[in-house]
Structure 1
Amino acid sequence: MKHIRNFCIIAHIDHGKSTLADRLLEHTKTIGERDMMNQVLDDMDLEREKGITIKSHAIQINYKHKGQDYVFNLIDTPGHVDFSYEVSRALAACEGALLLVDASQGIQAQTISNLYLAIDNDLEIIPVINKIDMDGAMIPEVKDQIIDLIGCKDEDILLASGKSGIGIEEILTAIVERIPPPTGSEEAPLQALIFDSVFNSFRGIIIYFRILNGVIRKGDKIRFLATGEDYEADEVGILKLGMEEKKEVRCGDVGYIITGIKNAKEVKVGDTLTLANNPGEMIQGFEEVKPMVFAGIFPVSTDDFEVLRDCMEKLQLNDASLTFELETSQALGFGFRCGFLGLLHMEIIQERLEREFNQTVITTVPNVSFIAHSSKGDKIVVNNPSEMPDPTKLAKIEEPFIKAQIITSPDYIGNIMTLCLGKRGFLMNQSYLTPTRVELIFEMPLTEIVFDFYDKLKSQTRGYASFDYSPIGYRDADIVKMDILLNNEKVDALSALIHRSRSQDFGRKLCEKLKELLPRQQFQIAIQAAIGAKVIARENISAMRKDVTAKCYGGDISRKRKLLEKQKEGKKRMRQIGSVEVPQEAFLAVLKLD
């Protein structure tokens, strides 16, 4: 065991994690030249197209140091804030971490938040400055930033370039010398932490685990502690570029197991594997995911509901940060209320449903969860506008707040202030990390950053600001439920929970947008935005009319009037029994309102 090293690579987006992993694999000849390509561990089409890592990837490397063979288990992690749950799971399976910092960009918000995650897990941290051969590399400045942040010595910081392969040997040596080997004993009862799983249509669910104590052998009877179910280990092995079967996987190692489970509900990430005849303890300290953004996902035709449920369960295996429950809507039928970690996460899930499972879905307006306190003193969690209690029975509503950390250059402080204060934020702290980098800390409502905050921040700072957030609890807020009425009938899929100060403006825009999108009928349609009984905005779609006076020529005006009155009566009756069909585009339009 003393020759095993488990480590992961953490950094901000685009600081070169996957490229550095490529060089480590190439240098140790883990991957042959034929299989080598850029970002070889990013095996999903979406990751290659967008150039980001979405899933953590584990791979085993063999390395010879001073004549001794070592086994490295490397996990490459995502850098985007929406996938931080992937990072936290990877850290739980490691003893050390390479902290990468881009020499031309310096320390950014995600660097700091991922570093704190690693420190919370007691990992040994090896700071590496990457991309040192770029023209804009500021090596001395970035060294000072790292020393200020971690408090390490100058000689502890390694210099490397993932692209050209400079400094790779030094990194491998540092991994051997600085990262401690795994602790644990092979004689103890089996304890293995499940940190990921994936569905395979031929073999069932493949589970990835890290063994803390004991040994797992092919043919053993395995017990899942969270569900209490027993299975037989049909195959165990280690993760190279593909899966490599072994007779046994020993303490301290990372591996996979196939038990032929087909039901997605029986496998839970963060669960502990043990032997049925000699069970060990549950591994503690693995946190549940907290979704930030909620949205409804509905199948386009209601017949596809069961198929969609199946696909969601398979997707949840591979992405444990997705949570969902059943929901029905009058306008859209049966579907799911899903929790995501952010808008990028939501977009990726929607894309994966379309690509991997051929499911076309409708997504409703994203919102966050509020806590409503009724006048009787009950607490109600509101994830969805339709769950909002009657305003007359409400004592108060609390909305989630976050602490936002923005790192930028001083030129853009004014723009960021205007943006954040306009989103109901409060400036808590402003500090200069170096003369050219400022850290701004805001406290803001999560509702305000859900839609387009990140895009606006990037455009106002020309892409130079980095942003990270963490939840800090709930606070009282003046949140109201805004309904959209068509001819006095509510359309539940278009309701939204919104701050009172924003409601009038939002209501007016939405009514104007719907006026463009709804088809004209034989009768007049009134589109209204209302809070409770008070209408705050209204638009009319005028009726299509027929000229009933065409056959009336000459004679008295009262004959014309009689025909027009008769038409008016008919329109009135038609309006009472006619219903307005809301087209698909209308639901999507709400998402695109600026």
Structure 2
Amino acid sequence: MKNIRNFCIIAHIDHGKSTLADRLLQITNTISERELQNQVLDDMDLEREKGITIKSHAIQMEYEYKGENYILNLIDTPGHVDFSYEVSRSIAACEGALLIVDAAQSIQAQTISNLYLALENDLEIIPVLNKIDLPSANPEEVTDDIVDLLGCDPEDVLRVSGKTGEGVEHLLHTIIEKVPPPTGDPEAPLQALIFDSVYNPFRGVEAFYKVVNGEIKKGQEVKFMATGKKYGADEVGTLKLKQVAKKVVKTGDVGYIISGIKEAVEVKVGDTITSVENPAKEAIDGFEEVKPMVFAGLYPVDTEEYEELRYSIEKLILNDASLTFEPESSAALGFGFRCGFLGMLHLEIIQERLEREFNMNVITTVPNVSYHAFTEKDPDKAMLVNNPSELPDPSGLNRVEEPYIRASIITKADFVGQVMTLCIEKRGILKNQNYLTQHRVELIFELPLAEVVFDFYDRLKSISKGYASFDYAPLDMRASKLVKVDILINAEPVDALSALIHVDNAYGIGKKMCEKLRELIPRQQFDIPIQAAIGAKIIARETIKALRKDVTAKCYGGDISRKRKLLEKQKAGKKKMRQIGRVEVPQSAFLAVLKLND
């Protein structure tokens, strides 16, 4: 056990984590030259196309140092804030972390928030300065920033280049010397912490775990403590580029288990595996529950695919535990699911994955939150409103209450003005301002959750150049002047586009939605009016002009009445067409409403 090292790579987005992981795999000969490619651990097409890591990836490397063989378990983590839950899970399975900072960009928000995550778990931090081969690199200045942040010596900051491989050998030696071996009792009852799982269509659910105490053997009967279910360990082993089956996985090691689990809901990330004959008394403290930031409805394009969509989402949750879902229905779209996401990028990625991995075409509704509505009949009884279409008639409505949150935003001192402007624009109330260092400020705001789910996060990132980190806790429900804005297309309401909006913002948002939809809905043979309405009152309108066939082309010369007759005939046809014509709203239109400020 003393020769095992478990560590993860944490950094802000695009600071070179996956490239450095490639070099580590190459130097330890874990992959052959033939298998080597860029982002070798990112096995999803989406990750390669977008150049980002979406999933954490665990892999085992072997390395000889000073005559001894060491086993290094590396977990490469995502950098984007929408996948920070993946990072927290990876950190739970490690004893050390490589904190990577780009020598050209210096320390950024996710560097800091991931660092705090690692420090909370008492990980040994190894600061690494990456991309020193860039012409724009500024290693001296960035080293000073790292020293300020961590309180380490300048000599402790390792300088490497993931691209050229410079300094990577020395980095491996430092990992072996500095990262502590796992602590655990090989003689104690088995306790293994599940930190990830995937669904294999041929073999059922594969769970990835770290053995904290005891050992797990092939063929032994094991129990998952959260669900209480028992299974036989058909196959156990460790994770190289491909899975390597073993007879036994010992204390401190990271491995996988296949036990023929067919139901996706039976495996919970953060659960503890123990043996049936000698069970552990209690489970390992799992990591914190996920907090969804954005709620949106996912509906199958074909209503008959409802059950199939349920299976697909359940399998996705295995692979991405930060997704939450519950069934809901809509008048326009039929049956579907109300899902919780960590952010807008997460929503986009889940939708793409459903399409690619499960061939599911889905429609996404406008993201929102849950409200309490009180009627004049019964002003003390709260009705839960999950969907704007469930809101009672405005004439009999007493009040609507919306959830408020206490938001903590940490940002650089340079961006305080812009962050405050954004929060006040989102109806925020400033509660506290606290300087953590001379360059970093913590702002505490009370904000309506509805304003946060829409585009707050993305705008906060862009005005602070990716430097602000954001956390929130729910507060209470407060009465607000909210109105339901309906979108009518060709005089028919589309309930998937309706939203509950504060009365001050209703006109602006209604107008923007109409303009956006006008660009995206394809032209038809007839005029299509797009209207935003509050109750019976129209507050904004745009018209998509008809595609017009030139019916007078064949009239050359002759009396004007011939042309007029043809035009009148065309006009009557268009009128009839508009009455019976249906307008298909493309998927891009539902998505575009989410990006009104672009």
**AA aligned opposite 2:480:** D
- Partner of 1:561 in structure 2? none
Trace 1:344-493 onto structure 2 (pairs within 5 A).
344-370=345-371, 382-388=385-391, 392-394=397-399, 396-407=401-412, 410=414, 419=422, 421-425=424-428, 429=433, 441=443, 443=445, 445-453=448-456, 464-474=465-475, 476=478, 478=480, 480-484=482-486, 486=488, 491-493=494-496
Partner-residue secondary structure (3-state), 2:349: helix
Q: In 1, distance between residues paired with 2:540 and 2:10?
A: 51
1:308 paired with 2:309, answer yes
Partner-residue secondary structure (3-state), 1:367: coil
- Partner of 1:191 in structure 2? 191
Question: Once the 2 structures are TM-superposed, how far is the Cα of residue 469 of structure 1 from its aligned partner?
Answer: 1.5
Question: Once the 2 structures are TM-superposed, how far is the Cα of residue 518 of structure 1 from its aligned partner?
Answer: 9.7
Q: In 2, distance between residues paired with 1:24 and 1:209?
A: 22
Question: Once the 2 structures are TM-superposed, how far is the Cα of residue 394 of structure 1 from its aligned partner?
Answer: 3.6
Q: In 1, distance between residues paired with 2:15 and 2:384?
A: 39
Q: In 2, distance between residues paired with 1:29 and 1:523?
A: 65
**AA aligned opposite 1:397:** E
CA contact (8 A) 2:389 2:495 kept: yes
CA contact (8 A) 1:128 1:157 kept: yes
- Partner of 1:340 in structure 2? 341
Question: Once the 2 structures are TM-superposed, how far is the Cα of residue 229 of structure 1 from its aligned partner?
Answer: 1.0
Question: Once the 2 structures are TM-superposed, how far is the Cα of residue 248 of structure 1 from its aligned partner?
Answer: 0.5
- Partner of 2:180 in structure 1? 180
CA contact (8 A) 1:326 1:336 kept: yes
Trace 1:93-132 onto structure 2 (pairs within 5 A).
93-132=93-132
CA contact (8 A) 1:294 1:383 kept: no
Q: In 2, distance between residues paired with 1:229 and 1:166?
A: 49
Shift in CA distance, 133/380, structure 1 to aligned 2, threshold 3 Å: farther
**2:502 equivalent among 499, 506, 516:** 499
- Partner of 1:57 in structure 2? 57
- Partner of 2:569 in structure 1? none
Q: In 2, distance between residues paired with 1:505 and 1:593?
A: 10
Shift in CA distance, 518/255, structure 1 to aligned 2, threshold 3 Å: closer
**AA aligned opposite 2:243:** M
Q: Deviations over 1:184-222 (max 9, x none)?
A: 111111111111111111111111011111111110111
Shift in CA distance, 218/302, structure 1 to aligned 2, threshold 3 Å: same
CA contact (8 A) 2:41 2:57 kept: yes
Q: In 2, distance between residues paired with 1:272 and 1:56?
A: 19
Question: Once the 2 structures are TM-superposed, how far is the Cα of residue 76 of structure 1 from its aligned partner?
Answer: 0.4
Shift in CA distance, 579/424, structure 1 to aligned 2, threshold 3 Å: farther
Deviates more, 1:8-17 or 1:515-524: 515-524
Q: In 2, distance between residues paired with 1:294 and 1:97?
A: 32
Q: In 2, distance between residues paired with 1:129 and 1:526?
A: 53
Q: In 1, distance between residues paired with 2:533 and 2:261?
A: 50
- After TM superposition, the score normalised by the length of structure 1 is 0.84
Q: Deviations over 1:262-293 (max 9, x none)?
A: 11111111111111122112111421111110
Partner-residue secondary structure (3-state), 1:584: coil
1:297 paired with 2:264, answer no
Deviates more, 1:332-341 or 1:381-390: 381-390
Question: Once the 2 structures are TM-superposed, how far is the Cα of residue 171 of structure 1 from its aligned partner?
Answer: 1.6
Q: In 2, distance between residues paired with 1:151 and 1:185?
A: 33
Trace 1:141-156 onto structure 2 (pairs within 5 A).
141-156=141-156
Question: Once the 2 structures are TM-superposed, how far is the Cα of residue 72 of structure 1 from its aligned partner?
Answer: 1.0
Q: In 2, distance between residues paired with 1:17 and 1:514?
A: 39
- After TM superposition, the score normalised by the length of structure 2 is 0.84
Shift in CA distance, 157/128, structure 1 to aligned 2, threshold 3 Å: same
Q: In 1, distance between residues paired with 2:107 and 2:299?
A: 41
Partner-residue secondary structure (3-state), 1:172: helix
CA contact (8 A) 2:403 2:448 kept: no
Partner-residue secondary structure (3-state), 1:60: strand
**AA aligned opposite 1:302:** T
Question: Once the 2 structures are TM-superposed, how far is the Cα of residue 156 of structure 1 from its aligned partner?
Answer: 2.0
- Partner of 1:327 in structure 2? 328
Trace 1:533-572 onto structure 2 (pairs within 5 A).
533=535, 535=537, 537=539, 539=541
- Partner of 1:276 in structure 2? 276
Partner-residue secondary structure (3-state), 1:226: coil
Q: In 2, distance between residues paired with 1:78 and 1:210?
A: 19
Shift in CA distance, 172/522, structure 1 to aligned 2, threshold 3 Å: closer
1:48 paired with 2:66, answer no
Q: In 2, distance between residues paired with 1:588 and 1:102?
A: 33
**AA aligned opposite 1:333:** G
Question: Once the 2 structures are TM-superposed, how far is the Cα of residue 415 of structure 1 from its aligned partner?
Answer: 5.9
Shift in CA distance, 211/383, structure 1 to aligned 2, threshold 3 Å: farther
Q: In 1, distance between residues paired with 2:530 and 2:236?
A: 64
Q: In 2, distance between residues paired with 1:380 and 1:118?
A: 42
Shift in CA distance, 218/389, structure 1 to aligned 2, threshold 3 Å: farther
**AA aligned opposite 1:117:** L
1:215 paired with 2:209, answer no
**AA aligned opposite 1:225:** M
Question: Once the 2 structures are TM-superposed, how far is the Cα of residue 399 of structure 1 from its aligned partner?
Answer: 3.1
Q: In 2, distance between residues paired with 1:332 and 1:118?
A: 43
**AA aligned opposite 1:305:** Y
Q: Deviations over 1:149-208 (max 9, x none)?
A: 122222222221111112212221221222111111111111111111111111111110
Q: In 1, distance between residues paired with 2:131 and 2:145?
A: 16
Q: In 1, distance between residues paired with 2:277 and 2:271?
A: 18
Deviates more, 1:419-428 or 1:192-201: 419-428
Question: Once the 2 structures are TM-superposed, how far is the Cα of residue 324 of structure 1 from its aligned partner?
Answer: 1.0
**AA aligned opposite 1:584:** V
CA contact (8 A) 2:161 2:167 kept: yes
Deviates more, 1:244-253 or 1:303-312: 303-312
Q: In 2, distance between residues paired with 1:112 and 1:373?
A: 43
Deviates more, 1:149-158 or 1:109-118: 149-158
Shift in CA distance, 336/277, structure 1 to aligned 2, threshold 3 Å: same
Q: In 2, distance between residues paired with 1:33 and 1:266?
A: 39
- Partner of 1:246 in structure 2? 246
Shift in CA distance, 154/373, structure 1 to aligned 2, threshold 3 Å: farther
Q: In 1, distance between residues paired with 2:541 and 2:93?
A: 57
Partner-residue secondary structure (3-state), 1:147: helix
Question: Once the 2 structures are TM-superposed, how far is the Cα of residue 383 of structure 1 from its aligned partner?
Answer: 4.1
Q: In 2, distance between residues paired with 1:515 and 1:108?
A: 39
- Partner of 2:556 in structure 1? none
**AA aligned opposite 1:398:** P
CA contact (8 A) 2:103 2:138 kept: yes
Question: Once the 2 structures are TM-superposed, how far is the Cα of residue 368 of structure 1 from its aligned partner?
Answer: 3.5
Q: In 2, distance between residues paired with 1:288 and 1:3?
A: 33
Question: Once the 2 structures are TM-superposed, how far is the Cα of residue 107 of structure 1 from its aligned partner?
Answer: 0.7
- Partner of 1:547 in structure 2? none
- Partner of 2:267 in structure 1? 267
Deviates more, 1:154-163 or 1:114-123: 154-163
Q: In 2, distance between residues paired with 1:422 and 1:328?
A: 33
CA contact (8 A) 1:128 1:158 kept: yes
> Percent same amino acid among aligned pairs?
59
Q: In 2, distance between residues paired with 1:198 and 1:526?
A: 44
Q: In 1, distance between residues paired with 2:480 and 2:525?
A: 37
Unaligned residue ranges in structure 2 (runs of 5+): 547-574
Partner-residue secondary structure (3-state), 2:474: strand
